[in-house]
Amino acid sequence: QHESPRESRSGHRRCARHRKSRGGTSPGEWGEGFALTILFLKWTRRIYPINCWENVQNVLRISLVVALVDLNQSVGEECKSDLDGQFGEDNCIFIQCDVTDAGKLKDAFQNTVKKFGRLDIVINNAGINNEKNWEKTIEVNLTSVIQGTYLALEHMSKEYGKEGGVIINVSSMAAFLHSPHQPVYTATKHGVIGFSRAIADASEQGSYGVRINTLCPAFVDTQLLRTVEHEETMGKFVKYKDEFKQRMDKYGVLKPSLIAEGMLLIITDESLNGAVMKITCSKGIHFHTYEPLSA
């Protein structure tokens, strides 16, 4: 049982699309996206675009069809091959895409709808940790999430004559912390929460029929964690890597399957809109509570 923090208006869903973080090297490292797809495809047979290995596996268990979107062609094809073996060849497609290329991202959405006829769930999960090339971190972690949300609304919002849907934007527990090793990464994750809550309010007030929520996991056992050890990604902030590792030891590392479980809760609980889900080793799946503003 998980308490729902707020009510919203929303409709039923049927098709999903998932976008994955850049830089994974194998299905096992594709993280929460693949986990969710597996969970989905074991659940119903609807249509969703997703981008992480365990997310994908979980999705494929729930009667869904899934579009996997990733920059890495070989990893994406390997994930699709694995899923085809488990769930059959008609349940998912892979689309190679750089999410920072607005035109290609738009094409990925259009190709998903062309293949499956509609779109019901979008998970914006692309993410990198690069403090040396921090402009790219903003492009991937924040700009692509905003772009992906607007594209999702074009294909799902009732204001465009569609049937509604669900959007999950993945932030991080870094949005609630401040630390010396990843200042720009932290800023992007703050931005994801702020944007998602604001557009969720717009969806509710405008009767879009689309629920938009944010998921904030703590440290997750994915390839992204390894980037903090390298100067080519962290630049001068690599000197804080030992402190980062100490935090990991203190707070623990989550399995992607728990992230997938949280995503599935957001998808199935129709009372959730504008919610911010936290997932930590100590508290598991829970929601952030915001105090009302006072004058």
Active site residue 160: no
Q: Which of 95, 101, 102, 38 is nearest to 72 (CA)?
A: 95
Question: ∠ CA(78), CA(145), CA(112), 5° rounding?
Answer: 50
Tell me phi and psi for residue 154, to 5 degrees. -60, -35
H or E segment and range at residue 67: strand 65-70
Do 59 and 77 contact (CB within 8 A), yes or no?
Answer: no
Q: How far apart are alpha carbons 161 and 138 in whole angstroms?
A: 32
Question: ∠ CA(223), CA(225), CA(230), 5° rounding?
Answer: 95
Instruction: Give Cα 175 distance to the centre of its chain.
Output: 15
Q: How far apart are alpha carbons 152 and 115 in whole angstroms?
A: 16
Residue listed under structure tokens 């919203």: 8
- Selecting among 150, 160, 185, 251, the annotated active-site residue is 185
In the three-class reduction of DSSP (H, G, I as helix; E, B as strand; rest coil), residue 217 is classed as strand
H or E segment and range at residue 81: helix 73-87
Positions annotated as catalytic residues are 185
